[in-house]
Amino acid sequence: MKIGIDLGTTNSLVSCYGEAGPRIIPNRLGENLTPSVVSIDEEGTVYVGRTAQERCVTHPETTATLFKRSMGTDKEFQLGNKTFRAEELSSFVLRALKEDAESFLGCPVTEAIISVPAYFNDIQRKATKKAGELAGLHVERIINEPTAAAIAYGLHDREEHTKFLIFDLGGGTFDISVLEKYGTIMEVRAIAGDNFIGGEDFTKVLYGMMLHKNNIKEEDLSQKELLRLLRQAEQCKLGFSKSNESAVKFTVGETTYETCFSLAEYEENCQLLLAKIRKPIERSLKDANVRLSDIDEIVLVGGATRLPVVRSFAARIFGRIPSADIDPDETVAVGAAIQCAMKERKEEVREIVLTEVCPFTLGTSVVTQRMGDLIEGGHFMPIIERNTVIPVSRTETFCTAANQQRKINVEILQGESRMAKNNLLLGEVTVPVPPRPAGEESIDVTYTYDINSILEVQVKVNSTGVSRKVIIQKEGSQLTEEEARRRMEELNYLKIHPRDQEENKLLLARGERLYEEATGELRQEIDFLISDFEAVLKKQDKGKIEQKAKEVKEALDEMERAMEEELLDF
């Protein structure tokens, strides 16, 4: 059985294609969204999702969030005395989702289609595949998030011929894509985006406003205070979905602050971020050679498009109300499930044909000769231009630049800058050439970009026939096979908290967080409630545990509601 996975910056989802079409698989808590948060306790047990999210405030030193933003980099996350790379943390999320799917479907799951932001580069895509492998999943296909969203809408949309624009703003990334649909053929015309804009940035704006309005300096905050404030800023941000005002109450040191923000002042503070969002939109339309007025439908995808600031911005620039017929949190996962069915060539989707594009330009660096003898190195030479339909294979021929040159070094670059050094170096390959006068030896460089958006480069020396194929590896950023095997064993040794006890663990983690957030008598009540629950858990009587868990949940719900109301009252 194949599953679709939307591995998000803030939340992840797992889906499948069943008898009744695509569907989201609920996690161990019966919820569709699993927060992409990982936490480890003193015994080395790994928590993923909501329980880990609760521990984010109480145990920030052993909890990691937003690691998707660091996929494919060398950044290491310190969780207690252990360190992890982003793909390793992602593999825990994938492991938990795989377990949830297996339990829901009642069969082993070994294959997955995972979505990534369209703007993920080659290294980030490989890191995502690696995360899947570490989780025991064969990643059949990496699919672009906006394409998955388009498939979900394409199947949904009854019109024969439409052009649509997908506006996908998640927790940490922003993707724009322009698509055209003719009957059952869906063509991605252009993709653009920014890997560093997302809902979290809108939270940070509010966090900045909380500090500014109360004359608090960030450097005076402890790490715990900072994380708590960010969490409260997130809650305050969500408040704008319900009202034109949102209040927040928070404590720094001994002082408690109470602040209320209007949507108008929040919107004003978001202008810089909104301006950043505008650029990729303009670029995608230009690349697709489509005018805004030609677009039939604008589709909003990603949790952050629920923010009124973002909705009104989208409505303003597109001059119409965007559609959000499918839950924006679930669209990508629904599309990934349909892609699974397409891969299995299921009857209902057999007719759908999808064409994708390469989201960025891939090329190499060259020496250029200008005005006579002036030779200048380091120029970027595109081989596959951005938004070329994939799969694609292009060959360019290059000659030696110096007399008696003995080797040619081919830099494999990705980016849009005129100068090679400003683009991302994906890898390099060097081939020997016979020493001869400049320009008399040549090589053929072939770039092949496959349907999973993974690049393969072949360099062939034309006179000798010597040929090298490159597996793109950025030096130092990837593990050797032996290291990877050892690391996998270490990771497998870490066990994810058992599914059946998850709800109880979540209650304990939530109780601990509420204890930290509460003051006075309420704290004692929580303390009593949690100790009592721990005592019942130790006795291992299933019936009693269930009864007690129900009571604890009700009590915590009541307390949290009271704490929120107190906040709204001021």
Residues 327-366 that bind ligand AMP (CB under 6 A): 329
Residues 417-456: x where in contact with ligand AMP by CB under 6 A, - otherwise, as a string: ----------------------------------------
In the list 199, 280, 415, 511, the residue contacting ligand AMP (rule: CB under 6 A) is 199
Residues 241-260: x where in contact with ligand AMP by CB under 6 A, - otherwise, as a string: x-------------------
Question: What is the bridge-based pairing of β-strands 138-144 and 407-414?
Answer: unpaired
Closest separation in Å from C-beta 67 to ligand AMP: 13
DSSP bridge pairs for 157: none
Which residues make Cβ contacts (< 8 Å) with residue 90, sequence separation at least 6? 7, 36, 67, 68, 71, 127, 128, 131
Q: Which is nearer to ligand AMP, 10 or 91 (CB)?
A: 10
Closest separation in Å from C-beta 507 to ligand AMP: 24
Under the binding rule (CB under 6 A), the answer on residue 200 touching ligand AMP is yes
Q: Which is nearer to ligand AMP, 192 or 332 (CB)?
A: 332
In the list 4, 154, 170, 415, the residue contacting ligand AMP (rule: CB under 6 A) is 170
Under the binding rule (CB under 6 A), the answer on residue 238 touching ligand AMP is yes
Given a contact cutoff of 8 angstroms between Cβ atoms, the answer to whether 90 and 116 are in contact is no
Closest separation in Å from C-beta 119 to ligand AMP: 14
Task: Report how far residue 59's alpha carbon sits from residue 512's, in angstroms, rounded to the nearest whole number.
Answer: 10
Angle between helices 86-105 and 481-493 (to 10 degrees): 50
| SS (HEC) of 479-492 | CCHHHHHHHHHHHH
In the list 50, 141, 237, 497, the residue contacting ligand AMP (rule: CB under 6 A) is 237
Residues 257-276 that bind ligand AMP (CB under 6 A): none
In the list 216, 274, 304, 333, the residue contacting ligand AMP (rule: CB under 6 A) is 304
Under the binding rule (CB under 6 A), the answer on residue 302 touching ligand AMP is yes
Closest separation in Å from C-beta 239 to ligand AMP: 9
Residues 111-150: x where in contact with ligand AMP by CB under 6 A, - otherwise, as a string: ----------------------------------------
Q: Which is nearer to ligand AMP, 180 or 201 (CB)?
A: 201
Closest separation in Å from C-beta 374 to ligand AMP: 50
Given a contact cutoff of 8 angstroms between Cβ atoms, the answer to whether 172 and 68 are in contact is yes
Closest separation in Å from C-beta 62 to ligand AMP: 23
Q: Which is nearer to ligand AMP, 87 or 145 (CB)?
A: 145
Under the binding rule (CB under 6 A), the answer on residue 322 touching ligand AMP is no
Taking the CA atoms of 91, 93, 95 and 101 in sequence, report the sign of the dihedral they define. negative
The HSE-up count of residue 207 (CA atoms within 13 Å, CB side) is 20
In the list 122, 157, 180, 234, the residue contacting ligand AMP (rule: CB under 6 A) is 234
Given a contact cutoff of 8 angstroms between Cβ atoms, the answer to whether 404 and 414 are in contact is no
Specify the residue for token string 């704006």. 205
Closest separation in Å from C-beta 273 to ligand AMP: 12
Which residues make Cβ contacts (< 8 Å) with residue 376, sequence separation at least 6? 367, 368, 369, 370
Phi-psi group of 341: left, alpha or beta (phi > 0 → left; psi -120 to 50 → alpha; rest → beta):
alpha
Provide the 3-class DSSP secondary structure of residue 26. Answer: coil
What number of other Cβ atoms are within 10 A of residue 521's Cβ?
Answer: 8
Q: Which is nearer to ligand AMP, 167 or 380 (CB)?
A: 167
Which range touches ligand AMP (CB under 6 A), out of 9-17, 56-64, 206-214, 374-382? Answer: 9-17
Phi-psi group of 188: left, alpha or beta (phi > 0 → left; psi -120 to 50 → alpha; rest → beta):
beta
Q: Output the CA–CA distances (angstroms, integers) from residue 516 to 55, 323, 527, in the order listed.
A: 11, 41, 10
360 CA to centre of own chain: 18
Closest separation in Å from C-beta 293 to ligand AMP: 29
Token duo for residue 70: 């660091």
What number of other Cβ atoms are within 10 A of residue 475's Cβ?
Answer: 8
Closest separation in Å from C-beta 232 to ligand AMP: 13
In the list 2, 4, 7, 9, the residue contacting ligand AMP (rule: CB under 6 A) is 9
Q: Which is nearer to ligand AMP, 20 or 272 (CB)?
A: 272
What amino acid occupies position 151? Answer: I
Q: How many residues bind ligand AMP (CB under 6 A)?
A: 18
Token duo for residue 462: 């034309």
Specify the residue for token string 């001059």. 319
Task: Note the residues at the interface with ligand AMP (CB under 6 A).
Answer: 8-11, 170-171, 199-200, 234, 237-238, 241, 302-304, 306-307, 329
